C-alpha cells in the first residue's frame, strides 16, 4: 500500500452521563480509594496496572494492550475551574469550550468551518447517531448526522428500490432548478442538492470499504464500524463523532460501568486494528472524554455527579503516557467531596487543534491554553 | 397521620418509607413502580414500569422491611418470553408464583418468586377468553384468577394457567358496567372488587360476577374518588383504595363507609440516607427547607401539591397488605413505598 | 383553480395553528374569514387529550422528571387541541422568554411556565410580564433567586429590558440596576435547596420537587429608585407598569409578533403593519389579542406577499404533518421518539439553546435538518393507514366521479388537500411527470393498502418533499 500523506482525522467518542474516573483509571495503590469506595470499587488484583499505583478497569483489555504499545495518552485530572455538576451544562461547556458563558458555537463546528471555509464538502464533519451534538454545531456549517449508514439519506423508509430511485430522481429535478428567484427558495435548492449529493457519496462508503476486522454487533461497535467505513472511503471526512452511554451510574454501578467499558474498549480495539490494517494508524487519533467524573465517596450502590475526570487520546501518532496529575484523594485536596482537576480541557483541545489538525487554536478555544505535548513530533 | 370523620374502627400508624429513585439499569431503588406485593416470608416485590428511556431495565425488584435490597429479575422490554412493555399489576398464588399483567402485550406472564421465568398466556382480542389491555389481577383462595380486561370493559375469570372460566361487564356507568377499570382484588370469601377507574368508584361482585354494591362517586371529598387505581381487602373486610387522582389512600369498612384518609408522610429512607451521606451539601439545603410549603392558589390541585410536597403521596397507584395486616402504598412518581402499621 | 378564499384561510390556519386538514379547512371556510379570526383569537374548550389517560399509560409524563417525556406531553397537547392558537402563542412566548431545561434540570416548572403562556399569552402584556417575573422557572433561569437587597444580581433586570420588552439602546445601565433592585425578593420557596438540586441535576431521593413563587419581603430593597425618568419606591410591578408604557416596548413586541405570525422578513409594507400594531397596542391597553387581530386583518397579511413567507419551524413541521395524517390521537408507545425528531431538526421543546431562544427563518435549514424534515413529513403523509390520509383517499375517490384522475388532476388535488400549497411551475411539472409514471389514478373498488392507494401515498410523499412544503 503506497504511503500517501493523508489528511489527519479526529474521531471523538463522547461518554455521556459522567464517566466514573475513579473506576476507570483506578488508584489501586491508594488506601483512601478503598476507604471511600467501600462498596463500589475495583479489587486491586483485578486492576490492569499501569505504573504500580494506578491501572485500568478490568474491562479495558484492548486499551491496556494499546497502552503497552505506547499509543494511549491518559489525561488525568482533566476538567475546568468551578465545575458544574449538571449533565446538560457541563457537556455544553465541553462542547462549546466556554465555561463562563453560554456558547453558541461548538468547537468542532468551528474546526469544520476552518477546515472547509467555503463549505465545499458537506461530509467534512459527520456525527454517527441521530441529532447533532452541540460540539459540531455552528451556524452555516453543514454537518451530516448519520443514524444508520446503510439507510442514510432521503426516504429511508422506502424499501422498494425502484420507487426510491424514481422519487430521488424527481427530488433531484425539483431541487436542481435555476437559482435567483427568491433567496429562501434558493437556499432550499442548494441545501437539498448538497444533502442529496452527500447522501449519495456516503452510501458508497460501505461498498468501498474492505476489511478483515470483525466488529461486534452492539450499537456502539456498529457506529464505530460506520466511522471506519467512512474514514477509509476517503470522502474527505475529517471529524467523526459518536457517543455512548449512559455512564450516569448512580446505582448498580459495578455491573453497568463494566459493561459500558467493555463496549467502548471493544470498539476502540477494532477501530485501531482496522486503521493498522489499512496503514492509517498514524493518520487518525481518537479522543475519549466525558462531561465530568464522579464523587469520591460512593453512595452504597453507585456514585453521584462529581468533577475532575479523565480523557484519553489514542492513536499511532500519539505520544503514549500519563499527562496531568492523578488528583489527590486526601480530604484537604478535595473539592467539596470531589476530585480537583489540574488541567483545563482546552489544553487538550489546543494540542489537537495545533499539533494534529494544524489550525489556529485560540479563536476556537476562546483563549490561550498551554499544550500538554500529546503528539509525537 | 390518620384522619376520619366519625371515629374510625381501625387505626393505621406510619412506620417508614423504603425506596429511592433509580435512573440506571439495575441496583437498589425503583423506577416508576406500578405495583407491590408482599410474600409470606416478608419479601416485598415491586414492579418497576420504567420510563421508555430505561425500558431495557423493566424489572421486579425485591427487598424487605429492613431495607435490604435482595435483587431483581426481568428480561427487559419487548414481546419475547419474560419480557414486558407496559407492565401494570401483580398477583401471587399460594405457591408464591407471581403473575404480572402487561397491557401492551395483552398477556399474563408468570415468574416464580426466585425470579425464574415460567410461562405466559393470553391472546389479544374481544372474544371470551381473549384480552385487550389486562390490568388488575387477583387470585382467590380457590385458585381462580380474576383479570381486569380494561378495553373490553369487563372482568374475566381464568384458571391459573389461563383457561377461560367466565366473564362479566360491558362499557358504561351503571352497575356491572365499567369504564377503563384498573385494579382488582378479592376478599376472604371470594368476592371480587374492581377499581372502576374512569367511573371514579369501586364495584363489588360475587365470585361469579353478580353485582353486589358500589362505593364512591367522582370528587375529592371524603369517600369520593378521582380515578382510583388499586385496592386490597383485609381479613376483616376493610377496603384500602389507592385514590390516585386525589393523591391519597382511603380506607372504607365493608359497607363502604369511610374510615381513614391517608395523605402520605414519607421520611428519608435508608437508601436516601446513604445518598445524603455522600452528598452532604444537599442534606444541608434540605434541612434548611420547608418540605411542606404553602402554595399559590393556581398550584393547589392535589397533583401539583404532591409534586411540590415530598412527604405526600404522589401517584399512589398500588396498595398491598402483608400477613400481619400492615399496609404498603407504592408511589409511581416518588419511586418508593410507605408502610403503615395496623393498630 | 384554488379560490383566493381557500388559500387565505389555509394561510391563516397555518399561521395561527399547524395547518388544517380538508375537514377543518372547510369548517372554517363556512364561518368566513373575519369570524374565523375572532374565534381563533378567543380560544375556548381545547378538548385535548386528557391528563388522566396520558398519565395512566405514560409514567414518564405523570412524573415529568426528564425532558423527553415532558416535551412529548406538550406535543400531545399540540396534536390533539382544537385551539392550536393557544399552543402557537405559547410556543411564541416560549421562544421569546426562552427558558431552558439545561440550567434548570426541571421540566415541570417549564411546563408550568408554558401553561401560563397558554392561559395569559393572548391577554394583557403588563399582566404577562408580571406573571413572568413571578414564574419560578424564569427566576432560576436568570438567577433572580440570587438577587438580594444586599447583593444585587442584575441578570433578570437586564434581560427583562433587553430581551423581553424594550430592546437594547432604549435604557441605560443605571436603569438596569434600578430595575434589578426593584425585583429583589422575587424568589422561590426553599431557594437554596432548589438551587443546589438544579445545579447538580439531583433527583434524589424521591425524584424532583417542583417550584413555586415566594416573595421574600425581608430581602426586598424598598428604597427610592429612578427608572426611565420616574422616581418612587418601586417594586417589580411598578417597574413593569413603566416598561409597558414605552414606545420601544410596543415596537419590540409588535415586531416580534409580526416576525412569528406575519413574515420572517420585515419589508416596508411589513413596517407599516408593525406600526399599526403599535397603535393597537396603546389603543387597546396593551392587549396582545388586539395586536394580532390587527395583523390578521391587515391587507399585507391577506396578500400574496405574506403567504409562504415564513420557513416552518420544526414544531410546525412535525405537528403539522401529524395533524394532517391524523395520528397520535391516543396515548401511544414511542411518542417521545417523535418529539425527539423536533430536537434533531434543531428545535427541542423546553430546551432553547440560550436566552435568545431560537433563530427562526432560514436558519432552520441546513443539510442535516432538511433531510430530517423531508423524511419525517414524507413518511407521515405517505402512510395510507393513517386516518387523515384515508380521508384524503376518500375525497380523491369522490373527485374521480365514476372514472379516474389524470396525473395533472391528481397533482392539483394533492396540492390542494395538503394545503392548499402554492408551488412553482417547475415543481408542478416534476410532480405531474412523477404521477405520469403510473398513469391515471383508478380508485374504483380500492382496498386498504392496494396499488391505487399506494399511488396516492407516493404522490403525497413527493409533495411533502417539495421546497414549498417547507414554508408556512
pLDDT recorded at residue C412: 96
Mean pLDDT, rounded, of chain C: 95
Report the pLDDT averaged over residues C38-43.
Answer: 97
The per-residue DSSP string of B226-258 comes to SS--EEEE-TT--EEEEEGGGTEEEEE-TT--E
Using CB atoms, which residue from C68, C204, C333 is nearest to B272? Answer: C204
Q: Rounded CA gap, C225 and C179, in Å? A: 8
Question: Pairing relation of β-strands B239-243 and B248-252?
Answer: antiparallel
B343 and B325 Cβ atoms separated by less than 8 Å: no
Using CB atoms, which residue from C66, C108, C206 is nearest to B53? Answer: C66
Q: Any CB–CB contact under 8 A between A253 and chain B?
A: yes
CA-based nearest residue in chain C for residue A164:
C458
The per-residue DSSP string of B95-148 comes to T-EEEEEETTTTEEEEEETTS-EEEEE--BSSSTT-BSSEEEEEE-TTS-EEEE
Report the pLDDT averaged over residues C302-327.
Answer: 96
- CA atoms lying within 13 Å on the CB side of residue C450: 10
* Chain C residues inside the 8 Å CB shell of B301: none
pLDDT single digits (tens) C59-75: 999 999 999 899 999 99
A364 and A109 Cβ atoms separated by less than 8 Å: no
pLDDT over 50 (residue A2): no
Report the pLDDT averaged over residues A314-335.
Answer: 94
CA-based nearest residue in chain B for residue A249:
B24
pLDDT single digits (tens) C357-370: 898 898 899 878 89
pLDDT over 80 (residue C1): no
pLDDT over 80 (residue A5): no
pLDDT single digits (tens) C19-32: 999 999 999 999 99
pTM confidence score: 0.92
For residue C285, the distance in angstroms to the closest alpha carbon of chain A comes to 36
Chain B residues 258-317 within an 8 A CB cutoff of chain C: 266, 268-269, 271-272, 275-276, 279, 281-282, 285-286, 288-291, 293, 295-296, 299, 304, 307-308, 310, 314-315
* Chain B residues inside the 8 Å CB shell of C202: 279, 282
Cis check for the bond before C192: say yes or no (omega within 30 of 0). Answer: no
Tell me the angle at which helices B280-287 and C191-200 cross, rounded to the nearest 10 degrees: 150
Interchain contact, C209 vs B310, CB within 8 Å: yes
Report the pLDDT averaged over residues A57-79.
Answer: 97
Residue A276 class from Cβ within 10 Å (0-12 exposed, 13-18 middle, 19+ buried)? Answer: middle
Residue C141 class from Cβ within 10 Å (0-12 exposed, 13-18 middle, 19+ buried)? Answer: buried
Using CB atoms, which residue from C112, C205, C208 is nearest to B275? Answer: C205
| C-alpha dihedral sign at C124, C126, C130, C132 | positive
| Residue pointed to by grid coordinates 457517543 | A243
Report the pLDDT averaged over residues C304-312.
Answer: 96
pLDDT recorded at residue C379: 96
Q: Rounded CA gap, B317 and B331, in Å? A: 6
Report the pLDDT averaged over residues A140-159.
Answer: 87
Interchain contact, C424 vs A86, CB within 8 Å: no
Q: Any CB–CB contact under 8 A between B227 and chain C?
A: yes
pLDDT band (50, 70, 90) for residue B1: very low
For residue B293, the distance in angstroms to the closest alpha carbon of chain A comes to 26
Q: What are phi and psi of B307, to 5 degrees?
A: -70, -20
Lowest mean pLDDT among A113-117, B304-308, C16-20, C333-337: C333-337
* Residue B144 backbone zone (phi > 0: left; psi -120 to 50: alpha; other: beta): beta
- CA atoms lying within 13 Å on the CB side of residue B77: 17
For residue C472, the distance in angstroms to the closest alpha carbon of chain B comes to 33
For residue C265, the 8-state DSSP code is S
Report the pLDDT averaged over residues B128-153.
Answer: 97
For residue A256, the 8-state DSSP code is H
pLDDT over 80 (residue B2): no
Domain A9-150+217-365 class in CATH: alpha beta
For residue B225, the 8-state DSSP code is B
For residue A372, the 8-state DSSP code is -
pLDDT recorded at residue B5: 54
pLDDT recorded at residue B4: 46
CA-based nearest residue in chain C for residue B198:
C52
The edge-to-edge listing of strands for the beta sheet with B97-102 is B87-92, B97-102, B107-112, B117-121
Using CB atoms, which residue from B86, B245, B333 is nearest to C207? Answer: B333
pLDDT recorded at residue A102: 83
pLDDT recorded at residue C65: 93
Angle at A197 between CA A196 and CA A200, to 5 degrees: 85
Number of residues assigned to chain C:
472
pLDDT over 80 (residue C145): yes
Q: State the CB neighbour count (10 A cutoff) for residue B39.
A: 16
For residue C218, the 8-state DSSP code is G
Question: Pairing relation of β-strands B12-19 and B230-233?
Answer: unpaired
Q: What are phi and psi of B278, to 5 degrees?
A: -100, 5
pLDDT band (50, 70, 90) for residue C402: confident
Q: Rounded CA gap, C209 and B307, in Å? A: 6
ipTM (interface pTM): 0.95
Q: Rounded CA gap, B141 and B145, in Å? A: 10
C42 and C18 Cβ atoms separated by less than 8 Å: no
Interchain contact, B275 vs A256, CB within 8 Å: no
Percent of chain C exceeding pLDDT 90 equals 90
Q: Rounded CA gap, C438 and A327, in Å? A: 70
Question: Pairing relation of β-strands B145-149 and B134-139?
Answer: antiparallel
pLDDT single digits (tens) A182-229: 899 999 998 899 889 888 899 889 989 999 999 999 999 999 999 999
pLDDT over 80 (residue A4): no
Using CB atoms, which residue from C63, C192, C212 is nearest to B333? Answer: C63
Q: Rounded CA gap, C278 and B341, in Å? A: 66
3-state secondary structure of B196: strand
Interchain contact, A153 vs C471, CB within 8 Å: no
Q: B60-81 b/e with 16+ CB inside 10 Å = b?
A: bbbbebebebeebbbbbbeeee
B106 and B122 Cβ atoms separated by less than 8 Å: yes
Number of residues assigned to chain B:
343
The edge-to-edge listing of strands for the beta sheet with A55-56 is A25-26, A55-56, A48-49
Question: How many helices and strands (H and E) does chain A possess?
Answer: 10, 12
| E strand or H helix at B330 | strand B327-331
B213 and B256 Cβ atoms separated by less than 8 Å: yes
CA-based nearest residue in chain C for residue A17:
C201
Cα separations in angstroms, B225 against B33, B178, B198, B220: 21, 15, 10, 6
For residue B9, the 8-state DSSP code is S
pLDDT recorded at residue C199: 87
Cα separations in angstroms, C54 against B247, C320, C332: 16, 21, 9
Q: State the CB neighbour count (10 A cutoff) for residue C4.
A: 10
Q: Rounded CA gap, B208 and B215, in Å? A: 19
Q: H/E/C letters for each residue in A59-124?
A: CCHHHHHHHHCCCEEEEEEEECCCCCCCHHHHHHHHHHCCCCCCCCCCHHHHHHHHHCCCCCCCCC
Q: State the CB neighbour count (10 A cutoff) for residue A69.
A: 12
Which is more confident, B238 or C401? Answer: B238
Enumerate neighbours of A (3 or more CB pairs within 8 A): B, C
pLDDT recorded at residue A333: 87
Interchain contact, C340 vs A173, CB within 8 Å: no
Report the pLDDT averaged over residues C154-174.
Answer: 92
3-state secondary structure of C149: coil
Using CB atoms, which residue from C66, C193, C333 is nearest to B289? Answer: C193
Percent of chain C exceeding pLDDT 70 equals 100
Q: Rounded CA gap, A163 and C319, in Å? A: 27
Which of B239, B235, B244 has the alpha carbon at shortest distance from B182?
Answer: B244
pLDDT band (50, 70, 90) for residue B6: low
Angle at C351 between CA C349 and CA C357, to 5 degrees: 95
pLDDT recorded at residue A351: 97
pLDDT recorded at residue A87: 86
Amino acid at each position: 500500500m503506497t504511503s500517501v500523506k493523508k489528511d489527519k482525522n479526529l474521531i471523538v467518542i463522547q461518554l455521556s452521563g459522567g464517566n466514573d474516573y475513579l473506576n476507570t483509571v483506578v488508584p489501586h495503590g491508594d488506601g483512601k480509594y478503598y476507604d471511600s469506595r467501600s462498596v463500589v470499587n475495583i479489587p486491586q488484583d483485578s486492576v490492569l496496572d499501569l505504573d504500580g499505583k494506578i491501572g485500568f478497569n478490568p474491562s479495558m483489555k484492548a486499551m491496556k494492550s494499546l497502552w503497552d504499545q505506547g499509543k494511549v495518552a491518559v489525561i488525568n485530572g482533566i476538567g475546568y475551574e468551578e465545575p458544574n455538576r449538571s449533565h446538560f451544562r457541563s457537556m455544553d461547556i465541553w462542547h462549546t469550550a466556554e465555561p463562563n458563558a453560554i456558547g453558541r458555537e461548538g468547537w468542532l463546528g468551528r474546526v469544520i468551518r476552518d477546515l472547509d471555509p467555503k463549505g465545499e464538502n458537506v461530509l467534512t464533519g459527520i456525527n454517527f447517531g441521530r441529532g447533532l451534538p452541540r460540539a459540531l454545531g455552528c451556524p452555516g456549517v453543514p454537518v451530516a448526522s448519520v443514524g444508520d449508514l446503510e439507510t442514510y439519506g432521503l426516504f429511508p423508509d422506502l424499501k422498494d428500490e425502484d420507487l426510491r430511485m424514481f422519487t430521488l430522481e424527481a427530488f433531484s429535478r425539483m431541487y436542481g432548478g435555476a437559482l435567483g428567484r427568491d433567496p429562501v427558495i434558493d437556499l432550499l435548492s442548494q441545501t437539498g442538492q448538497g444533502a442529496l449529493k452527500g447522501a449519495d457519496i456516503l452510501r458508497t462508503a460501505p461498498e468501498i470499504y474492505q476489511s478483515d476486522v470483525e466488529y461486534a454487533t452492539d450499537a456502539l461497535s456498529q457506529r464505530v464500524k460506520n466511522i471506519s467505513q467512512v474514514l477509509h472511503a476517503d470522502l474527505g471526512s475529517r471529524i467523526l463523532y459518536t457517543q455512548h452511554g449512559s455512564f450516569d451510574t448512580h446505582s448498580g454501578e459495578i455491573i453497568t460501568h463494566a459493561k459500558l467499558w467493555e463496549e467502548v474498549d471493544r470498539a476502540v480495539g477494532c477501530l485501531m486494528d482496522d486503521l493498522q490494517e489499512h496503514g492509517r494508524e498514524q493518520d487518525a487519533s481518537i479522543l475519549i472524554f466525558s462531561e465530568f467524573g464522579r464523587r469520591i465517596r460512593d453512595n452504597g450502590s453507585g456514585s453521584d455527579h462529581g468533577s475532575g475526570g479523565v480523557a484519553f487520546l489514542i492513536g499511532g501518532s500519539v505520544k503514549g503516557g500519563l499527562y496531568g496529575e492523578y488528583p489527590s484523594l486526601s480530604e484537604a485536596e478535595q473539592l467539596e467531596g470531589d476530585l480537583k482537576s489540574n488541567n483545563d480541557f482546552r489544553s487538550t483541545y489546543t494540542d489537537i487543534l495545533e499539533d494534529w489538525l494544524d489550525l489556529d487554536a485560540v479563536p476556537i478555544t476562546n483563549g490561550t491554553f498551554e499544550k500538554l505535548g500529546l503528539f509525537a513530533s | 397521620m390518620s384522619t376520619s370523620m366519625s371515629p374510625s374502627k381501625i387505626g393505621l400508624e406510619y412506620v417508614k418509607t423504603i425506596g429511592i429513585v433509580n435512573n440506571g439499569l439495575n441496583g437498589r431503588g425503583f423506577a416508576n413502580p406500578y405495583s407491590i406485593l408482599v410474600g409470606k416470608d416478608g419479601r416485598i416485590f415491586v414492579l418497576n414500569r420504567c420510563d421508555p428511556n430505561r425500558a431495557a431495565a423493566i424489572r421486579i425488584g425485591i427487598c424487605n422491611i429492613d431495607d435490604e435490597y435482595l435483587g431483581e429479575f426481568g428480561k427487559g422490554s419487548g414481546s419475547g418470553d419474560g419480557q414486558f412493555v407496559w407492565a401494570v399489576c401483580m398477583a401471587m398464588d399460594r405457591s408464591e408464583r407471581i403473575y404480572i399483567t402487561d397491557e401492551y402485550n395483552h398477556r399474563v406472564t408468570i415468574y416464580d418468586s426466585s425470579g425464574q421465568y415460567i410461562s405466559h398466556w393470553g391472546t389479544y382480542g374481544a372474544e371470551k377468553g381473549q384480552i385487550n389491555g389486562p390490568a388488575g389481577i387477583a387470585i382467590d383462595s380457590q385458585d381462580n384468577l380474576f383479570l381486569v380486561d380494561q378495553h373490553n370493559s369487563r372482568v374475566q375469570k381464568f384458571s391459573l394457567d389461563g383457561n377461560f372460566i367466565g366473564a362479566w361487564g360491558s362499557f358504561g356507568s351503571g352497575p356491572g358496567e365499567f369504564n377503563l377499570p384498573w385494579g382488582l382484588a378479592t376478599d376472604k370469601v371470594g368476592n371480587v372488587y374492581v377499581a372502576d377507574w374512569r367511573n371514579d368508584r369501586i364495584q363489588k361482585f360475587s365470585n361469579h360476577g353478580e353485582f353486589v354494591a358500589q362505593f364512591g362517586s367522582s370528587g375529592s371529598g371524603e369517600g369520593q374518588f378521582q380515578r382510583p387505581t388499586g385496592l386490597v381487602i383485609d381479613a376483616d373486610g376493610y377496603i384500602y383504595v389507592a385514590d390516585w387522582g386525589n393523591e391519597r389512600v382511603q380506607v372504607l369498612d365493608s359497607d363502604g363507609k369511610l374510615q381513614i384518609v391517608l395523605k402520605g408522610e414519607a421520611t428519608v429512607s435508608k437508601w436516601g440516607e446513604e445518598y445524603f451521606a455522600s452528598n452532604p451539601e444537599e442534606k444541608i439545603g434540605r434541612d434548611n427547607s420547608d418540605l411542606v410549603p404553602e402554595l399559590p392558589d393556581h398550584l393547589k390541585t392535589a397533583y401539583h401539591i404532591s409534586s411540590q410536597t415530598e412527604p405526600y403521596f404522589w401517584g399512589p397507584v398500588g396498595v398491598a397488605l402483608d400477613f400481619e395486616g400492615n399496609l404498603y402504598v407504592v408511589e409511581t412518581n416518588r419511586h418508593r413505598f410507605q408502610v403503615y402499621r395496623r393498630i | 383553480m384554488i379560490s383566493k378564499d381557500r388559500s387565505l384561510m389555509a394561510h391563516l390556519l397555518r399561521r395561527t395553528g399547524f395547518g388544517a386538514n380538508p375537514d377543518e379547512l372547510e369548517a372554517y371556510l363556512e364561518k368566513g374569514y373575519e369570524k374565523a379570526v375572532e374565534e381563533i383569537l378567543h380560544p375556548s374548550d381545547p378538548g385535548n387529550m386528557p391528563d388522566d389517560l396520558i398519565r395512566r399509560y405514560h409514567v414518564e409524563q405523570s412524573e415529568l422528571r426528564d425532558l423527553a417525556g415532558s416535551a412529548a406531553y406538550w406535543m400531545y397537547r399540540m396534536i390533539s387541541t382544537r385551539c392550536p392558537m393557544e399552543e402557537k402563542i405559547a410556543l411564541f412566548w416560549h421562544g421569546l422568554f426562552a427558558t431552558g431545561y439545561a440550567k434548570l434540570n426541571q421540566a415541570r416548572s417549564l411546563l408550568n411556565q408554558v401553561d401560563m403562556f397558554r392561559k395569559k399569552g393572548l391577554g394583557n402584556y403588563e399582566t404577562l410580564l408580571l406573571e413572568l417575573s413571578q414564574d419560578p422557572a424564569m427566576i432560576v433561569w436568570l438567577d433572580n433567586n440570587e438577587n438580594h437587597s444586599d447583593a444585587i444580581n442584575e441578570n433578570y433586570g437586564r434581560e427583562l429590558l433587553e430581551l423581553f420588552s424594550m430592546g437594547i439602546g432604549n435604557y441605560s445601565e443605571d436603569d438596569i440596576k434600578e430595575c434589578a433592585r426593584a425585583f429583589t425578593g422575587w424568589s422561590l420557596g426553599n431557594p437554596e435547596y432548589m438551587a443546589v438540586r438544579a445545579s447538580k441535576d439531583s433527583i434524589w431521593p424521591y425524584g424532583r420537587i417542583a417550584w413555586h413563587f415566594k416573595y421574600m419581603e425581608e430581602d426586598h430593597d424598598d428604597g427610592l429608585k429612578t427608572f426611565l425618568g420616574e422616581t418612587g419606591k418601586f417594586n417589580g410591578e411598578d417597574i413593569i407598569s413603566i416598561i409597558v408604557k414605552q414606545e420601544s416596548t410596543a415596537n419590540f413586541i409588535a415586531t416580534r409578533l409580526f416576525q412569528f405570525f406575519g413574515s420572517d422578513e420585515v419589508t416596508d409594507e411589513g413596517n407599516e403593519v408593525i406600526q399599526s400594531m403599535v397603535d393597537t397596542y396603546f389603543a387597546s391597553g396593551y392587549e396582545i389579542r388586539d395586536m394580532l387581530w390587527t395583523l390578521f386583518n391587515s391587507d399585507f397579511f391577506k396578500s400574496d406577499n405574506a403567504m409562504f413567507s415564513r420557513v416552518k419551524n420544526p414544531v410546525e413541521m412535525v405537528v403539522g404533518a401529524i395533524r394532517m395524517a391524523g395520528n397520535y390521537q391516543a396515548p401511544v408507545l414511542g411518542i417521545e421518539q417523535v418529539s425527539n425528531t423536533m430536537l434533531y431538526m434543531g428545535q427541542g421543546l423546553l430546551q432553547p439553546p440560550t436566552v435568545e431562544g431560537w433563530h427562526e427563518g432560514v436558519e432552520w435549514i441546513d443539510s442535516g435538518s432538511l433531510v430530517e424534515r423531508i423524511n419525517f413529513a414524507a413518511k407521515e403523509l405517505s402512510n395510507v393507514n393513517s386516518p387523515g390520509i384515508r380521508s384524503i383517499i376518500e375525497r380523491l375517490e369522490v373527485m374521480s366521479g365514476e372514472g379516474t384522475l389524470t396525473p395533472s388532476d391528481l397533482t392539483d388535488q394533492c396540492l390542494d388537500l395538503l394545503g392548499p400549497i402554492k408551488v412553482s411551475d417547475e415543481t408542478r411539472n416534476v410532480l405531474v411527470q412523477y404521477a405520469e409514471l403510473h398513469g391515471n389514478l383508478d380508485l374504483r373498488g380500492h382496498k386498504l393498502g392496494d396499488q391505487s392507494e399506494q399511488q396516492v401515498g407516493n404522490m403525497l410523499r413527493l409533495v411533502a418533499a417539495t421546497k414549498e412544503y417547507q414554508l408556512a
